[in-house]
Amino acid sequence: MELITAKTAGFCFGVKRAVEQVYAQIGAGDGPIYTYGPIIHNQEVVKELEAQGVHVLAEDHLEEEEGRGRVIIRSHGVSRSVQERLAKQGYEILDATCPFVKKIHRIVSEKSAEGYKVLVAGNPDHPEVKGIIGWCSGPVRVITEPEDIEKLPDDFRSKVCVVAQTTFNYNKFKLLLAKLEKILYDRIVFNSICNATQERQVEARQVASGVDCMLVVGDQHSSNTQKLYEICLQECANTHFIETVRDLDALWFENAKRVGITAGASTPHKIIEEVQTYVREF
């Protein structure tokens, strides 16, 4: 059996940077260490950090928490109001927001102040998108599917700024832009999808198109991993979304001569290696 692992599988720059900042704080200074929400969408990493004394600050119970200790803002970023609330409550804030996400915050903040309405291509329930919305001072809407464009209010026809969630599907973003071009006569567009995301999606499609079984490794709550799974499933019907080696089923590999592996941006390298080891045994 031939095993093909995508070169881009695993931690992206922003996630690696955020996780390293958390580990750097363990044992440094006094007081408890918190992350605002899970530092990344991977329960294995979160559990490992919790065992070392890093606690998750509940997003929906922020007002109930005491303002002491250090809070690390995860790579997804947070809204301006959350950042201000954390500071007001007395936490020491360490910002591990991905630089590419911070760039979107600056764009929407500036353009909102200039009177632009903001359109965000992304998942409205994703923490990154919620954070982006929180840096807008004027009207803002989130679009995910082409049908969402038809529901836009009439005032979203001119002076509109379009950005995208960094992990949004690049091909879907192009479809949305094509439809927006027909109704927006005064617009500025920022392709804020991370280059690493685009490369990961393109490579995942290439690998999946040439294998008999495709494995997508990552947390079920990871948006970018879910998109990789959707892309791979289009190319290989025998595609499976797993979190760890425990989810593997030997039946998937029957009669498979080539097996492909890719992984989301929040998947540690050691989990990918465990999956590789398991597959090589067949």
194-207: pLDDT as tens digits: 988 889 999 999 99
Mean pLDDT, range 116-124, rounded to an integer: 97
Read off the pLDDT band of 64 (50, 70, 90): low
Mean pLDDT, range 211-238, rounded to an integer: 94
- Identify the CATH number of the domain defined by range 13-97: 3.40.50.11270
Rounded distance, CA 28 to CA 75, Å? 21
DSSP 8-state class, residue 165 = -
Q: Which residues are catalytic?
A: 128
Q: Note the CATH architecture for domain 2-10+196-280.
A: 3-Layer(aba) Sandwich (3.40)
Asked whether residue 282 carries a pLDDT value surpassing 70, the answer given is yes
Query: Beta-carbon neighbour count of residue 125 at 10 Å?
Result: 10
Burial track 89-118 (b if 16+ CB lie within 10 A, e otherwise): eebbebebbbebbeebbebbbebbeeebbb
Asked whether residue 31 carries a pLDDT value surpassing 80, the answer given is no
- Does the domain spanning 100-193 belong to CATH 3.40.1010.20? yes
Half-sphere exposure of residue 73, counting CA atoms within 13 Å on the CB side?
25
Asked whether residue 62 carries a pLDDT value surpassing 70, the answer given is no
What is the torsional sign of CA 165, 167, 170, 171?
A: negative
Task: Give me the residue spans of the domains in the chain.
Answer: 2-10+196-280, 13-97, 100-193
Confirm whether 2-10+196-280 and 100-193 share one CATH topology.
Answer: yes
Listed range (35-39, 60-64, 168-172, 266-270) with the worst mean pLDDT: 60-64
Residue 80: per-residue pLDDT: 95
Mean pLDDT of the chain, nearest integer:
92
Read off the pLDDT band of 99 (50, 70, 90): very high
**pTM for the whole thing?**
0.84
Read off the pLDDT band of 60 (50, 70, 90): low
